[in-house]
Amino acid sequence: MESSAAAIRRATPRLPGDTRRQTTRRKLFEAAVTLIAEQGFSSTTVDEIAERAGVAKGTVYYNFASKSVLFEELLRHGIELLSSSLQQAADETAARGGSRVDALDAMIRAGLAFIVRYPSLTQLYVAELWRTNRAWQSTLMQVRQQAISVIESVLREAVAGGELSKEIDIPLTASALFGMVLVAALDWQSFQPERSLEDVHAALSRLLQGRISGSPR
């Protein structure tokens, strides 16, 4: 499986206008997500992040005021990537003339694919959701809502178009879909790694079609 650092590098190509600072910050993101996933936030030191990134310790503080700020930005960056992946899946489905339920199904697959590309980042996100004493808790909730809002938008369109019942609780359903993908994917990666993405997506797709749309395929 591709490492989180390699995946971030591949998904964030260097652009002609990139500055040296942007390149350095990207290296620090890559180092931090790998180390914190391996050791935990408290056990990971700035020295280790700098060494893994191949930069001086002072460079970390030049780009980020503290380790906490670095981690907060790491979470924000990761969930923004996820939100973009979900929105792209929905837009591409709409462009092909698919239904809103088809768009939700495409978003489930996009979410699973994202977790395959960024397993360490996803593990960090899920772990941090359960902690309430972190300085970045409010930021975590904001970026979480950003991803869920993408799902809510498609659900609203589906209800407005008569594809889904008006009785659906849109905020709760969006949260449930988001959580379903996260938990199912982590369970898959941890305990059933022999299963393919297509296999896992098919199982979740049946849940979506049967429970939300009421018309299993």
pLDDT in tens, 129-140: 777 676 677 777
In terms of Cα–Cα distance, which of 118, 104, 115, 206 is closest to 150?
104
Helical (H) or strand (E) element with 109: helix 100-117
Give this prediction's pTM. 0.78
In whole angstroms, give the CA distance from residue 158 to residue 174: 12
- pLDDT mean over 165-190: 92
Task: Report residue 11's pLDDT band, with 50, 70 and 90 as the boundaries.
Answer: very low
Distances (CA, A) of 80 to 28, 48, 74, 75, 129: 17, 26, 10, 8, 16
Kindly give, in sequence order, each residue whose CB lies less than 8 Å from that of residue 127, ignoring residues fewer than 6 positions away.
none
The predicted-structure confidence for 18-67, as pLDDT tens digits, reads as follows: 577 778 888 888 888 888 878 887 888 999 999 999 999 999 888 888 88
The predicted-structure confidence for 106-119, as pLDDT tens digits, reads as follows: 999 999 999 888 88
pLDDT score, position 212: 58
Q: Is 36 in contact with 44 (CB distance < 8 Å)?
A: yes
In whole angstroms, give the CA distance from residue 58 to residue 47: 9
Q: What is the SS3 assignment for 106? A: helix
In whole angstroms, give the CA distance from residue 6 to residue 12: 10
Distances (CA, A) of 103 to 106, 109, 205, 206: 5, 10, 11, 14
